[in-house]
Amino acid sequence: MSGEESAPDETEHRTDEADGRGDSDRGSEHADRGGNGRDPPGIDNDGNDDQEGGGDHDGTDSDTSGHANHAHRGGDGHGDHGSHDGHDHHASDVETVGVAILTVSSSRSLDDDPAGDTIGSAFERAGHEVRSRALVADEHDDVQAGIDSLVDREDTDVVVTTGGTGITPDDVTIEAADPLFKKRLPGFGELFRRRSYGEVGARIVATRASAGVVEDVPVFCLPGSENAARLGSEIATDVCGHLAGLARRDEEQH
């Protein structure tokens, strides 16, 4: 998200539990988890996010959590990701996902973060838990450091960013996140744009919503508007447990 106000230099954090993942293995140190959503985005006439106080300039309109303990990190998986080998390719799915939300904005605060609130609410309705929220300015290094910090948390299975996915000079989330991706998940952005096209039309090409895996944590990068955050969260909540399990299994096998 872009804005006119200057954001603090340091990442602002709000957490429900103590931070810290350190360098410890993410597989076997955690107890088992139990337990186990779209208004289409629109745009204004300028093709910009009309969220008050700023947002992505990506053509999507503005209209908000999952993790118990981690025995699932390093959970067992079988064979290929398909079912042709006779194994259940959902065997390693994480039922209750721990979510960290990173808002990218130079004008918002955690107390005034409609898109972040929308993401959190969507994940909580899906049976997941928001473990932390943070806010950083529209600066490449701040965004990258924010993602790294959240991925390193012991209680985090999935990271969702909101803001900075457009094409203006201060939309830098994708440039910050992409070098961190060990594996990219192009299908997420493709599905997001496909679902948005009916409402937004060809201007949807200006949004760069994307996803990938950082270390063993799926990271979803969503636009900064409420509508786009809601749609992106709907997709993410459908697949986050499956992706978290697969990413962890892949890390264990290497």
Assign residue 109 the CATH number of its domain.
3.40.980.10
For position 254, what pLDDT does the model report? 53
**Least confident segment among 20-24, 176-180, 197-201, 250-254:** 20-24
Strands of the sheet with 12-15, listed across from one edge:
12-15, 129-136, 98-104, 158-162, 217-222, 210-214, 183-184
For position 139, what pLDDT does the model report? 98
Task: Pick the closest to residue 240 from 125, 96, 130, 134 (CA basis).
Answer: 96
Q: Is residue 9 part of a domain?
A: no
Q: Is residue 44 part of a domain?
A: no
Please give the tally of structural domains in the chain: 1
Whether the CB-CB separation of 235 and 188 falls below 8 Å is answered with yes
Q: Is residue 84 part of a domain?
A: no
pLDDT reading at 39 higher than 70: no
Determine the structural domain holding residue 119 and report its residue range: 53-73+95-253
Q: Is residue 30 part of a domain?
A: no
Q: What percent of the chain has pLDDT over 70?
A: 63
Integer-rounded Cα Rg, in Å, for the chain is 17
Q: Is residue 167 part of a domain?
A: yes
Q: Which two tokens stand for residue 240?
A: 């986050």
Q: Rounded to 5 degrees, what angle do the CA atoms 159, 162, 167 make? A: 125
Whether the CB-CB separation of 73 and 24 falls below 8 Å is answered with no
For position 248, what pLDDT does the model report? 86
Global confidence as pTM = 0.69
Q: Is residue 25 part of a domain?
A: no
For residues 196-200, give the mean pLDDT. Answer: 91
Non-local CB neighbours of 101 within 8 Å, separated by 6+ positions: 65, 116, 119, 120, 130, 132, 133, 134, 159, 160, 161, 162
For position 46, what pLDDT does the model report? 37
Distance CA 230, CA 225 (A): 9
Q: How confident is residue 250, by pLDDT bands cut at 50, 70 and 90?
A: low
Distance CA 160, CA 137 (A): 16
Q: How confident is residue 47, by pLDDT bands cut at 50, 70 and 90?
A: very low
For position 251, what pLDDT does the model report? 57
pLDDT reading at 167 higher than 70: yes
Q: Is residue 194 part of a domain?
A: yes
Whether the CB-CB separation of 1 and 156 falls below 8 Å is answered with no
Interval 69-87: pLDDT, tens? 443 444 443 334 444 444 5
| Higher-scoring residue by pLDDT: 36, 241 | 241
Residue type, 29: E
Q: Is residue 183 part of a domain?
A: yes
